[in-house]
Amino acid sequence: MAYRRTTAVQERIDATRDRILAAAHDVVAERGFAGCSVAAVAETAEVATGSVYRHFPDKGALLAEVFRTSTQREVDAVAAATQDGGTIEQRVTRVVDTFASRAFRSPRLAYALIAEPVDPQVETQRLVYRAAYRDLFAALIDDAVAAGDLPHQDAQVSAAGVVGAMAEALVVPLHDGANGGGEPHVVPALTDFILRSLGALRAHP
């Protein structure tokens, strides 16, 4: 008869995997992807190095999962910010504030997610989530065009430009923040730029 794991055994396996993933997240948040070694993750999780490899086939797979879970939380927060009503100015302001405030809360992690050179497996996830952000903005733009608040435009192209602008505008401030600098006052200017680029009737005050 083939061996079948009991529920208790599976729960222990899942708990160990979750602990390893949480440890890897903490190491990336402190040191970036470049400073996240399997040995550091194992030490933080208080498991043997071999245990890490029992749950993740290689370091790239582990870091890709860190990226996926970390970025999914950010996408979910931005998605929630797009759902509340209001004018296009109010909705864009809310989304940019949400994206930026969460990034500045953990600048080293945010810089790692947005701009740090990464393993190809992580880069694949980065492209997936760039597309997720683009699609959220495209839906917001389509709504505003339909309501007559924005001129007709290719929502997917405009949204891709918005996502690129948000990432590029925050790269240097996040890098500075990760190295002890203060949070810069870029958010209102970034919001103004996005609203003007989309053709909003009035910019962020």
Is the per-residue pLDDT at 21 higher than 70? yes
- 124-138 mean pLDDT: 95
Task: Indicate if the pLDDT at residue 85 is higher than 90.
Answer: no
Range of 78-87, 130-139, 181-190 with top mean pLDDT: 130-139
pLDDT of 53 above 50: yes
**Structural domains in the chain plus CATH codes:** 1-56 (1.10.10.60), 63-198 (1.10.357.10)
Residue matched to tokens 């470049």: 34
Considering only CA atoms, which of 150, 133, 129 is closest in space to residue 141? 150
**How confident is the model at residue 144, as a pLDDT?**
94
Q: Comparing C-alpha atoms, which of 165, 161, 195 is closest to residue 91?
A: 195
What is the structure's pLDDT at 204? 42
pLDDT at 205 over 70: no
* Residues 25, 9: Cα–Cα separation, whole Å: 25
The CA-atom distances, in angstroms, between 173 and each of 107, 160, 176, 183 are: 9, 21, 5, 7
Please state, rounded to an integer, the average pLDDT across all residues of the chain: 90
Least confident piece of the model among 60-74, 81-95, 140-154: 81-95
Confidence of residue 3 (pLDDT cuts 50, 70, 90): low
Residues 32 and 108: their CA atoms lie apart, in Å, by 6
Cα(58)–Cα(46) distance, rounded to whole angstroms? 18
The reported pTM is 0.86
